Structure 1
């Protein structure tokens, strides 16, 4: 029996069997010869979450260790410190006495220190004639010495867990960025695919992630996000491979059928040409070529960029530096306008598939000009898309009407 190594608390504090068990375990263990006290303290700080300790408890433990005179914990020199509450409060950065008592109790419950209470509950020591301490009553630091190896292993485990958690969050951040930018790029450039569904899945995955997740939740979200990224990449890879095959076929057709293709500028109506004359010439050309095998139609810009900007000047505000100089800048500005007007990515994607990316961007510019008269920009764009698919819609009359309105407005203000 090792009853001499077990003490019960003074006053109204009850003696708990868990505390008795902890004292017996410490008494029956063979402690290390000595250990550097601040190394043990750093291990406790690292593993404090495993013990359920607050930062103030660590401040109290730090204060207790400052009352131990040696740099190393050594059982031969005694491990009991006996400062008063006033002295402890000063060295623990001035915490209140009630907080001090509560945090001392937390350290005792965690099994990091033991109470060695005197008969009257005071903390003091008996010394011999040589001034050496024979018996001390206060707080016993022996658990820190006995559990030094255990604390070091716990600290390493917590540090490794923290590293795995940080790397999982970093991987999730990168994966989220990849998926978000792949969706944006696909919608902006009119890539084939149901990107609205992909974006919905992306939002649903993030909605299931708690605000303060643990590592398991982050890793589960990362697995789902990686699968979504693979799906998006597969869609884009399939389309790019298809475009390469179609591009090669178109190049071969052009080489065989037309060695001198018309330039884009020749196909666009010039600024000095009347619409009626252009229509008549096109009708005559169609009648002349009727019955002949038709070559594969090339995607062209139906109208000059200058004409579009003249009819829809507001779209320039969404370009880089408040101006638009190229078709790609117009298409990027149209994506920003789409988001601002509340048009869904799926509606814009359908418009790009039906009209072509350039014409869809022109349609968004026209809708922006008439936004004050349109109740639902998304519904209006879907209606234009359906009419375009049936061959019942052309951007020409809309552009000419807007250009006429803007020109008349300029003449009035001139």
Structure 2
């Protein structure tokens, strides 16, 4: 270990209390402390920002370490190197003498090396008879070894912060891209929402991103951007669920705007008599889209008007008349109109009704009434040979104001009541003459 005596600077360089404290701290090395000088140098390079040294100063430190004969710095061996300015300049990539002196002062100020000046300010070594170094004057690497643990911990912390910052920047980039593209998609698809306000908030947050991002100033902005992205995703998912519940294949709005609906001549023949077919193709008084006084309303406007006249009924009444639809609801239950619409989509696929037939019914009757009609068709499944043709026939009649949902529901309710009365009469007939508490007879209703 080097001598613990204090060395004052040679020449005109002043002495200070800070320099004294750095010298004393540099000499306080725990016994047995060793470090690989090049691994320690890499830690110094990693912790450069925390040590407040420049890259040119690190070049000088690299040159000084190259003059140490061993690959390992040890508290038990000499830590003073004594190269001349000419040799040190060569190993410092030809650095000019004035620049060399300036960066040596930076290393001393940072507490990585200390000066051990000789009486005349020269750097040299005095050896004994056996060639062992008795005294050396030059630059001591003891402060570097004394601060090895501190430097390594600082380097590990800076590396972790850099990795954290890199991950934050990646998340920020992905979040910016997601928000921009999701807002663009929502506007193009005409999804309801205050997209102008969200876009303004998004661009305002982008202006707040600092040029010099750090793990301290970036997380608040990233959190706000992720909140905006989550709100947009929730809005789009809610809209998509509503569309799936009503059509399951596509958005109803696109089919409502289609002025050339699909032909009904598919695998679902319409259930029309000859007179009804003739009446369907005849121009109806007061309904021609070119008739004066109608304001240019076409068949689609008339269909919407007739759909508005189609009365809706309470959900409880629909489920009472059509209890079979409940089994196809989410989780085997129907608690809202939305559940009924989702169940109607399942039933439509099961009964072989084409998506276009159901979408046309929903556009004419309304989503709730179309789902109710599907529930009625399911309830009367045994008496309907072509569910798709029957639905198209009801849709055509609804377009001309000739269909009412109430009679269909009332007929199902009356049929349900008749079945209940017949069942009760059958049970009473079986129980006539039977003693109370007697076991049921063979083939008896239980």
Q: Pick the TM interval, shorter chain.
A: 0.5 to 0.7
- How far the C-alpha of 1:4 sits from its partner, in A, is 4.7
Alignment of 1:28-107 (within 5 A): 28-107=28-107
- How far the C-alpha of 1:130 sits from its partner, in A, is 2.3
Whether the aligned pair in 1 keeps the contact of 2:29 and 2:142 (CA below 8 Å) is no
CA distance in 2, matches of 1:153, 1:293: 77
Say which SS state the counterpart of residue 306 (structure 2) adopts: coil
Whether the aligned pair in 1 keeps the contact of 2:9 and 2:115 (CA below 8 Å) is yes
Say which SS state the counterpart of residue 234 (structure 2) adopts: helix
Whether the aligned pair in 2 keeps the contact of 1:89 and 1:95 (CA below 8 Å) is yes
1:282 paired with 2:289, answer yes
- How far the C-alpha of 1:119 sits from its partner, in A, is 1.2
CA distance in 2, matches of 1:232, 1:26: 58
CA distance in 2, matches of 1:13, 1:185: 69
The verdict on how the C-alpha distance between 1:246 and 1:138 changes in structure 2, with shifts beyond 3 A counting, is same
Say which SS state the counterpart of residue 217 (structure 1) adopts: coil
Alignment of 1:117-128 (within 5 A): 117-128=117-128
The verdict on how the C-alpha distance between 1:4 and 1:150 changes in structure 2, with shifts beyond 3 A counting, is closer
Say which SS state the counterpart of residue 192 (structure 2) adopts: coil
- For normalisation by structure 1, the TM-score amounts to 0.60
Q: Deviations over 1:160-187 (max 9, x none)?
A: 1111111111111111111111111112
Extract unaligned runs of 5+ from structure 1.
Answer: 253-260, 267-279, 297-414
Larger gyration radius, structure 1 or structure 2: 2
Whether the aligned pair in 2 keeps the contact of 1:10 and 1:120 (CA below 8 Å) is yes
Q: Deviations over 1:135-156 (max 9, x none)?
A: 1110001122222222222211
The verdict on how the C-alpha distance between 1:29 and 1:71 changes in structure 2, with shifts beyond 3 A counting, is closer
Q: Could you say what the CA RMSD is over the residues aligned between the two structures, in angstroms?
A: 3.1
1:164 paired with 2:164, answer yes
CA distance in 1, matches of 2:303, 2:186: 39
After the TM superposition, which of the residue ranges 54-63 and 26-35 deviates more from structure 2?
Answer: 26-35
How many residues matched?
A: 274
- For normalisation by structure 2, the TM-score amounts to 0.56
Q: Which residue of 1 aligns with 2:230?
A: 230
Whether the aligned pair in 2 keeps the contact of 1:5 and 1:27 (CA below 8 Å) is no
The verdict on how the C-alpha distance between 1:191 and 1:262 changes in structure 2, with shifts beyond 3 A counting, is closer
Say which SS state the counterpart of residue 157 (structure 2) adopts: helix
Q: Which residue of 2 aligns with 1:354?
A: none
Q: Deviations over 1:359-408 (max 9, x none)?
A: xxxxxxxxxxxxxxxxxxxxxxxxxxxxxxxxxxxxxxxxxxxxxxxxxx
CA distance in 2, matches of 1:290, 1:221: 52
Q: Which residue of 2 aligns with 1:109?
A: 109
Q: Which residue of 2 aligns with 1:294?
A: 306
Extract unaligned runs of 5+ from structure 2.
Answer: 253-257, 264-286, 309-446
Whether the aligned pair in 1 keeps the contact of 2:126 and 2:135 (CA below 8 Å) is yes
Q: Which residue of 1 aligns with 2:430?
A: none
CA distance in 2, matches of 1:4, 1:215: 41
CA distance in 2, matches of 1:190, 1:241: 15
CA distance in 2, matches of 1:292, 1:122: 103
- How far the C-alpha of 1:293 sits from its partner, in A, is 5.5
Q: Deviations over 1:100-124 (max 9, x none)?
A: 1111111111111110011111111
- How far the C-alpha of 1:157 sits from its partner, in A, is 1.3
CA distance in 2, matches of 1:153, 1:242: 55
CA distance in 1, matches of 2:21, 2:215: 34
- How far the C-alpha of 1:281 sits from its partner, in A, is 6.4
Alignment of 1:281-360 (within 5 A): 282-284=289-291, 294-295=306-307
Whether the aligned pair in 2 keeps the contact of 1:5 and 1:23 (CA below 8 Å) is no
CA distance in 1, matches of 2:71, 2:118: 26
